[in-house]
Structure 1
Amino acid sequence: MSHTTLDCIAKADIEALGIPSEVADAIYLKVAEILRDCGPASPDTWKRISKEVLRPDLPFSFHQMMYYGCYRDFGPDPPAWMPDPDAALQTNVGQLLENKGREFLGSKYKDPISSFSDLQEFSVSQPEVYWKTILGEMNVTFLVPPECMLRENSSVESNMPGGQWLPGAYVNPAKNSLNVNCKRSLNDIVIRWCDEGDDNPHVKTMTLKELREEVWLVSHALDTLSLERGSSIAIDMPMNVYSVVIYLAVVLAGHAVVSIADSFASAEISTRLKISEAKAIFTQDLIIRGEKSIPLYSRVVEAEAPLAVVIPSKGSSFSTKLREKDISWHDFLESVRNIKGEEFAAIEKPIESFTNILFSSGTTGNFRFEV
């Protein structure tokens, strides 16, 4: 489709899109001003038009006219959005480049936006320097540090054909998520959420201190189940504050999370439990969606799941009776209430150890097993 360049668009062209004459006149004058300042076809032209001319109430066809008119001769993939330089400086990569840009790139370094592609090239050509810096910026700690960042493997038969990352390292990623460091204090808010089904929903918060104590408590409770270290433990429930706590607790205790979507039918749940050889599962009795209550625990039961720890969706009471071998969330935690606040000693494991088993599906609907 052929598009008219901005400097050839007339007021009548704007009106033809259904825009009132007086509005079209103001738009035409503003566009003319921008073209005088920036020229008819540059990223700066589009940046000003998108901020000073375009509005949600204007027809989408007008947005297209401005965009394609500005970039008609630009080439492939013209930028529809460009970061503000000041905002870019506040991002993690912006801060990294401001602190390390000249060290990494020498005289090539200009600013975080202009030098981003150079940083990407540097990360590939100098993985040892780049990733050591990134892990330091993230305050990642190891029980046993890696021998190097990347050990390349030229063997075609290797199960790590692209190389081995952080060989020799022992680490617990959940522990690192809960650590206090120079960028994070115990009083920092780390989770914000609203509970499903609240008649008067309000935003709730959890600090790092509170999250640590909740995760430690669940990890201690997991130990009471006497599961072998490295067991697969499924989570089949909505993404809420409980699932975040449970996920971190499973990993902290040295197990692997099996992620199962709460929308799956019992047959799909069963397949994933069998393939992953899950030894336990965390779930809810119901899923609350507005006015609807959708059964979840009953699907887990139909899937012939192993031991289930069941969280009530509302208050502390269940809408259904639990199987004899299953445990309520309250009873699961009750045996360790007396040690709430006591730190759980994280199980540090080799870097090759699994922390998550998930199943992703493509357009065919056939799932893929990934770890």
Structure 2
Amino acid sequence: MSAPLWTPTPDRIAASRMDGFRRYVEQRHQLELVDYPALHAWSIEQRSVFWQAIADYFEVRFTTPPTDVLLNGEAMPGAQWFPGATLNFAEHLLRRRDDHPALVAIAEDGHREQFSYAELSAHVAGLQRALREAGVVAGDRVAAFMPNTWQTVVGMLAATSLGAVWSSCSPDFGTQGVVDRFGQIEPKVLIACAGYQYAGKQIDLTDKLKDILAQLPSLERLVLVPYTHAEASSADFASVVPTSLWQDFYQPGGEPEFVAVPFGHPLYILYSSGTTGVPKCIVHGTGGTLLQHLKEHGLHTDLGPEDTLFYFTTCGWMMWNWLVSGLAVGATLVLYDGSPFEPQAQRLMDLIEAEGISVFGTSARYIAALEKAGCKPRETHQLSRLKTLLSTGSPLAPEGFEYVYREIKADLCLSSISGGTDIVSCFALGNPVLPVWPGELQCAGLGMAVEVWDEQGKRVYGEKGQLVCTRPFPSMPVGFWRDEHGSRFHKAYFARFPGVWAHGDYAEETPNGGLIIHGRSDAVLNPGGVRIGTAEIYRQVEKVDEVLESIAVGQHWQGDERIVLAVRLRDGVMLDAALEQRIRRVIRANATPRHVPARIFAVADIPRTVSGKIVEVAVRETIHGRPVKNTDALANPEALEYFRDRPELAS
């Protein structure tokens, strides 16, 4: 059994908000909860008491108090949280009104803007008035086609302060990808940028935006943010929809008003990846999102008013929605728009040092890329304030954990986290009071009845199976947009195990109380009837220095399935017989012979969603000659062509 890579000191545990909450619960309810497992078990068995304690601990302001905490509490779906309660989401993110920095927005070219909590509130108040004058009322949709910058946050807060529903896509989405999403939800107002910069390239969005506007007949107003396209004019779009430039649309000042809405009132609409068809529009409720994010930021991430939070994300990924909730605990948010490798691989490490970031979030892919680039930030950067590093998007391999502690910082809480768009939060995540074990997510979240089940619906330990949640939780989606009878929603999560949320992750519970994610269930490989998670292969291939990244899929072959592996190699490296053999040898030695691919071939690129996740299902469809239904959901759909009609897969 391996040793933990990091263990919090008694002083750090005692100073954490997680331990403070444990003591709060003990005192208030006359309990003895000696450690996190005891606290977690209580949070599951006493769900109503637990979620009320979260609301009380974080001083959630109900405009109208609830008549109960939980009705129909064993039904999933169907449980009702905090019936009768009304509140406003934006109000909780704007409770702080002093001169402490709320937002620091940094562009790829280094341009930096900073706003205090008081200034942020003034901008929200001004934009709120303008949106109200434009006819926006509770329940209307306000959409954004925007980069991760301060205007996007102001837009979300102004819209939700009115009880409107917020939805966003990043500007790297294709035209059809935007229309497939916003076309379903029929926004009244669109906030959009006229251009952006990525990897040193200036990208003019004028033509793309005109195409999008022409296909959104519900729009009554475009609010145009020039951003990197300073010469943009409202006249460019006024013939399609009434258009105002951001700087002309409102004047900051005054105090925002907050429209109280029911606990389950729609707050956000997020989208499934859309790689197997038109994206599903996932509706998240106001109160459930707030409570879950307060719990995750305040307790699991140990984020507080003196912290500075960063997450590398775009507005097309749920991590943006998660990031902005850091305002609810009074933290400073650092927003970055651009390539994480521009002008060099350590760009984000530069940000940690320059901005004093204490909680840094990124993807497992970025950590692997830092290691491949030979970066040793502990030698080149001052990272004294950094206390927590968060990783998500894909499973972080044990070697990635070891790299972080060896080359970034030895004394920090490295938290691999997993949940998703479906719940706009996490099932399993970090914990400042627990040790960090290589390759493991530290724990299931408080209030989340997470288990791993086999195909017969039996809980298993130390074996791979389906990640499920067996009891209701407040951040479960309200449903899918325009799914009046809930049939599509039920099929997506509850058809496999009736009354139990099946998340679609292939996972394993560990003896340490943590979890390992082995990949998505729909991408599980099945050679000879043996189920293999793709992450099991990736974490071995990452050990081969010549390989930058890889993708493994199952190919139907002679009545069975065989594993095929595509690799993207460093510049100048060729895939010869010797390198192939070395890749196979590493996989065989560290996994099993079953994990060894039958075929290996090199590709120039690997297709990804716009949030950076590799798309095994789309590649699997391509190698079998079947159409991929919605390539506009991909950031680089042209990469699929590298997998079509491969001679290596014909024999």
TM-score, normalised via structure 2 length: 0.40
User: Equivalent residue of 2:128, what SS?
Assistant: helix
Q: Does 1:145 align with 2:57?
A: no
Q: Which of the pair is proportionally richer in helix? A: 1
More strand by share: 2
Against the structure 1 CA distance between its residues 108 and 350, is the aligned structure 2 distance closer, same or farther, given a 3 Å change threshold?
closer
Report the residue type matching 1:327 in the other structure. Answer: S
Change (3 A) 1:320 1:353: closer
Q: Where do residues 74-89 of structure 1 align in structure 2 (5 Å cutoff)?
A: 79-89=4-14
The answer to whether the Cα contact below 8 Å between 1:230 and 1:255 also exists between their aligned partners in 2 is: yes
Structure 1's unaligned 5+ residue stretches are 1-70, 73-77, 110-114
- 1:100 is aligned, of 25, 49, 62, to 25
1:262-311 per-residue CA deviation (whole Å, 9 max, x = no partner) reads 22111111121211111121110001124211233432320224332110
- Give CA-to-partner distance per residue, 1:112-145, whole Å, 9 cap, x none: xxx1111111111222322222112222101101
| Cα shift readout 1:227-283 (whole Å, capped 9, x = no counterpart) | 343111111111111111111111001210122232211111112121111112111
Q: What is the rounded CA distance, in whole Å, between the counterparts of 1:193 and 1:91 in structure 2?
A: 28
Give the Cα–Cα distance (whole angstroms) in 2 for the partners of residues 364 and 357 of structure 1.
19
Alignment correspondent of 1:68: none
- AA at the equivalent of 2:57: E
Q: Which runs of 5+ in 2 are unaligned?
A: 284-651
- Once the two structures are superposed, residues 206-237 of structure 1 have per-residue CA deviations (whole angstroms, 9 ceiling, x without a partner) of 22111111111111110121234311111111
The aligned runs of 1:225-264 (5 Å cut-off) are 225-264=134-173
Match 2:246 to one of 309, 325, 329: 329
Amino acid at match of 1:309: V
SS in 2 for 1:187: coil
Match of 2:83 among 167, 172, 196: 167
Q: Residue 332 of structure 1 aligns to which amino acid in structure 2?
A: F
Q: Does 1:270 align with 2:203?
A: no
Structure 1 365/82 Cα, relative in aligned 2: closer, same or farther at 3 Å? farther
Q: Which has the higher contact order (CA 8 A, sep 6+)?
A: 2
Q: SS of the residue aligned with 2:188?
A: strand
How far has the Cα of 1:94 moved from its partner?
2.1
Letter in 1 for 2:227: S
Q: 1:296 corresponds to which residue?
A: 205
Q: Which has the larger radius of gyration?
A: 1
**Which residue identity does 2:144 align to in structure 1?**
I
CA contact (8 A) 2:62 2:85 kept: yes
Aligned equivalent of 1:55:
none
Q: Given the alignment of the two structures, is residue 195 of structure 1 paired with residue 107 of structure 2, yes or no?
A: yes
Residue in structure 1 matched with residue 52 of structure 2 by the alignment: 132
Q: CA deviation at 1:92?
A: 2.3
The residue matched to 1:356 in structure 2 has which SS? strand
| Residue pair 2:82, 2:263 contacting (<8 A) in 1 also | yes
Which residue identity is paired with 1:213? Answer: A
* Equivalent residue, structure 2, for 1:350: 262
- Conserved 8 A contact 1:196-1:289: yes
Secondary structure in 2 matching 1:355: strand
Instruction: Provide closer, same or farther for how the CA distance between residues 261 and 314 of structure 1 changes in structure 2, counting only shifts above 3 A.
Output: closer
- What CA distance in whole angstroms lies between the structure 1 residues aligned with 2:117 and 2:277? 38
CA distance in 2, matches of 1:186, 1:270: 40
Question: Quick check: 1:288–1:313 contact (8 Å CA) kept in 2?
Answer: no
Output the amino acid matched with 1:197.
D
- Aligned-partner Cα distance in 2 for 1:196–1:165: 42
Offset of residue 363 of structure 1: 6.5
User: Mean alpha-carbon deviation: is it higher for 275-284 or for 298-307?
Assistant: 298-307
Q: Alpha-carbon deviation of 1:79?
A: 4.1
- Following the alignment from structure 1 to structure 2, what is the Cα–Cα distance between the partners of residues 263 and 119? 42
Contact 1:283 1:297 in 2 (8 A): no
On the 8 A contact 2:190/2:222 being kept in 1, the answer is yes
Quick one: structure 1 residues 107 and 189, their matched pair in 2 at CA, closer, same or farther if it must change by over 3 Å? same
Shift of 1:175: 0.8
Verify the 8 A CA contact 2:270 2:282 in the aligned structure 1. yes
Q: Residue 119 in 1 paired to residue 33 in 2?
A: no
What's the CA shift for 1:358?
1.1
CA distance in 2, matches of 1:362, 1:323: 28
Amino acid at match of 1:359: Y
Query: In structure 1, what is the equivalent of residue 569 of structure 2?
Result: none
CA contact (8 A) 2:137 2:162 kept: no
1:174 maps to a residue whose letter is: A
1:118 counterpart SS class: helix
Match of 1:176 in 2: 92
In 2, Cα distance between equivalents of 1:214 and 1:320: 21
Secondary structure of 1:288's match?
strand
In structure 2, relative to structure 1, the CA distance for the partners of 1:108 and 1:242 (3 Å cut) is closer
Identity between Structure 1 and Structure 2 (%): 25
Secondary structure of residue in 1 paired with 2:236: coil
Query: Which residue of the partner structure matches residue 597 of structure 2?
Result: none
1:234 partner SS = strand
Alpha carbons 1:310, 1:326 under 8 Å: kept? yes
Aligned-pair distance for 1:319? 7.3
- Judging changes above 3 Å, is the alpha-carbon distance between structure 1 residues 298 and 363 closer, same or farther for their aligned structure 2 residues? closer
State the alpha-carbon separation in 2 of the partners of residues 192 and 83 from structure 1. 30
RMSD over equivalenced CA pairs, Å: 2.5
| Distance change in 2, residues 1:367/1:105 (3 Å) | farther
1: CA distance between counterparts of 2:234 and 2:200?
19
Structure 1 stretches of 4+ with a deviation exceeding 4 A read: 102-105, 362-366
Following superposition, the deviation at residue 320 of structure 1 comes to 8.5
